[in-house]
Amino acid sequence: MLERLLPLFFVLIWSTGFIAARLVAPHTEPLTFLLYRYLLTIAAFIAIAVAVDAPWPRGARAWANALLAGVLLQGIYLGGVFWAVRHGLPAGVAALVVGLQPLLTAVLAFPLLGETVGARKWVGIALGFGGALLVLEPRLAVDVQDITVGPLVAVVASMLAITLGTIWQKRTGATADIRTNAAVQFIGAAIVTLPVALVTETGRFDMVWQNWVGLLWSSLGLSVGAISLLMFLIRRGSVASVASLFYLVPPVVAVFAYLLFGETLGALQIAGMLIAVAGVAIASRNPAA
């Protein structure tokens, strides 16, 4: 029973990342914040690994696999999205581009992993994308005119990175310990983020409660909790099914924004939520034996 609820827990925790980003945005620079988040997450995973005596990757190849997964799943994905939004890309457009990830994952699942994506999963993925699009539509109607090339390229790179990172994790992380593997992944994310942050930012991090709450939750709730769940789900299921869960993020974020920030929820968005839920349910349903 608990295992069946893990995808729901993942979506709920992952969706809070957008609330945390909104909380800290006025008080810090994006890559500086992410770098602090990675360092705190590394410390947390190392402490957990030492406490339970978890095995570390063996050999240079295993370390390289985990580092590359971290560069893709964390460094480029999160860094690209944060940088793009900070440099003017509307959040709705960013969410729409990242929403292409399940489609691309399904396309690449067979040639890269040998996973067959049947008609049922394709229907579910298509419905999920359509539902997410309806949820995002009010933002897209006013956002499209504000798109610039640089931030758009950054968020497209982010979408490609999380797609390839998910596939790479599935290929190389099947037998790795989730705790130590995650620690190495965030080391990889920090390695690629540090030089970019030093060159492009001033290191601003205001000593206000918003930053500290956002940092603690982003590190312990998101990076430790949600990423651990994501790696577990990737290990146990097909990458197309796991990727389809991201279509539930815009509906959940819309509900959070309604409850916390007083944003409106129209009939079109509510319909989109129901369609997205139905699509993910169809895409994630395992066929009977």
Count how many domains the chain has: 1
Q: Which two tokens stand for residue 153?
A: 């390229």
Mean pLDDT of 235-244: 82
Q: Which of 97-101, 152-156, 182-186 has the lowest mean pLDDT?
A: 97-101
For the ranges 72-86, 108-122, 272-286, the maximum mean pLDDT occurs at 72-86
In a domain, 254, yes or no: yes
- The rounded distance, in Å, linking the Cα atoms of 5 and 12 is 11
Mean pLDDT of 262-287: 83
In a domain, 77, yes or no: yes
- Residue range 140-168, pLDDT digits in tens: 766 566 678 888 899 999 999 999 999 99
Indicate the SS3 state at residue 4.
Answer: helix
Rounded to the nearest integer, the mean pLDDT of the chain is 87
pLDDT higher for 268 or 90? 268
99 within 8 A of 246, measured Cβ to Cβ: yes
179 within 8 A of 31, measured Cβ to Cβ: no
pLDDT at 289 over 60: no
In a domain, 221, yes or no: yes
pLDDT at 287 over 60: no
Q: Which of 145-159, 254-268, 270-284 has the lowest mean pLDDT?
A: 254-268
pLDDT at 261 over 80: no
Q: Provide the domain limits for residue 167.
A: 2-284
In a domain, 289, yes or no: no
In a domain, 145, yes or no: yes
Q: Which pLDDT score is estimated for 144? A: 62
Exposure string for 201-235, b = 16+ CB within 10 A, e = fewer: beeebeeeebbeebbebbbeebbbbbbbbbbebbe
In a domain, 235, yes or no: yes
Q: Which pLDDT score is estimated for 288? A: 43
Distances (CA, A) of 209 to 28, 39, 65, 203: 12, 19, 37, 17
186 within 8 A of 38, measured Cβ to Cβ: yes
In a domain, 28, yes or no: yes
User: Could you tell me which of 133, 135, 69 has the C-alpha nearest to residue 102?
Assistant: 133
Mean pLDDT of 124-137: 88
What count of residues does the chain have? Answer: 289
**Percent residues over pLDDT 70 in the chain:** 96
Q: Which two tokens stand for residue 75?
A: 């460094």
- The rounded distance, in Å, linking the Cα atoms of 42 and 100 is 29
In a domain, 110, yes or no: yes
Q: Is residue 90 very low, low, confident or very high in pLDDT (cuts 50, 70, 90)?
A: confident
Q: Output the pTM of the full model.
A: 0.88
DSSP letters spanning 146-199: G--HHHHHHHHHHHHHHHHHHHHHHHH-SSS-HHHHHHHHHHHHHHHHHHHHHH
